[in-house]
Amino acid sequence: MQKRTLGNSHLEVSALGLGCMRMSYGDSPVGDKQAMIAFLHAAVDRGITFFDTAEVYGPFTNEELVGEALSSFRGQVVIATKFGFNIDSSTRANLGGLNSRPERIRQVADESLKRLNVEAIDLFYQHRVDPDVPIEDVAGAVKELIQAGKVKHFGLSEASAQTIRRAHAVQPITAIQSEYSLWWRNPEAEILPTCEELGIGFVPYSPLGRGFLTGTIDENTTFDSSDIRSRSPRYTPEARKANQVFVDLIAQIGAQKGATPAQIALAWLLAQKPWIVPIPGSRKLERLDENLGAISVELTPDDLREIESAISKVAIQGDRYPADQQQMTNR
């Protein structure tokens, strides 16, 4: 497995990480616990060392799953988790909205340490920027946790370039996690240049467009009501029909390289910067192995120009999030 370093932090991880959310949360049916533990072990066996979870996934069930599954690999893997949502720890109820007050950050850290069964959280992201709490206060709270040995690295998710700069001035940021893929390239305008300037790694989530870029979803695919795609404007049957041409183009390029659409999409991300580490989510071994195959796909400058030329002719239909979730991004 190839390794990559997230920015100037010296945090070395596998070139592809693994998003764990859907193993126990996000759409029905969720994965069987023992099967998901075996799946996580298989991921480690294949060389993956970077795993992504969050307290809000469940709440808490995903952290508990990841903590149990990876407890025997302590010191060999990097586990990232997140804080920032308003959750009642005693009832496990998501109360709605955001909460990044320093006292809540400290509470989440202590509780996540127990659920993950680790002595220190490898990478602690603010899941969404809280407009009611100055980012300097958030960074300061995480800085104190780092000084206390409870957290090793600080990250932000879906933050604006200005917010990144303000937080980084208080506590150096190791990684920014935001959506980034062949069909969501907004981070290229300001976020990636800011990361490069400040020496921050970048972790794209949904690098396969929530499955659409795999070529396995079309206008006739149905989604469970618990699946975010059932509420997303980009995944309406009409949008999927219109967007199919995008996947067809990737498939054509993949055919020339002996690669699947998913492998082209991931290889394209890996080719953008050496400090980019995508975290595709999966819970099936065949998908995991397909994704890992992307590491061996070499895209030449000519290949990248061909991809750029092809996709520039396609206008993607539909916003990536419902309106209430879209407003929590790029703050």
- For 3-326, CATH gives 3.20.20.100
Positions annotated as catalytic residues are 57
The reported pLDDT for the residue numbered 314 is 86
Residue 1's Cβ-side half-sphere holds a number of Cα atoms within 13 Å equal to 20
Q: Identify which of 188, 173, 311 has the alpha carbon closest to the alpha carbon of residue 248.
A: 311
H-state helical runs in the chain: 33-45, 61-70, 102-116, 135-147, 161-170, 191-198, 237-257, 261-272, 285-292, 301-311, 323-326
The residues spanned by each domain of the chain are 3-326
What is the structure's pLDDT at 230?
86
Task: Encode pLDDT of 268-286 as tens digits.
Answer: 999 999 999 999 999 999 9
- B/e letters for 212-251, b = 16+ CB within 10 Å, e = fewer, are bbbbebeeeeebeeebbbebbebbbeebbebbeebbebbb
Q: What is the pTM of this model?
A: 0.96
Mean pLDDT, each 10-residue run in order, the chain (331 residues): 95 98 86 95 98 97 98 97 97 95 98 98 98 98 98 98 98 98 96 98 96 90 85 91 91 95 98 98 96 97 93 89 83 91
* pLDDT given at position 29: 79
What per-residue confidence (pLDDT) applies to 99? Answer: 98
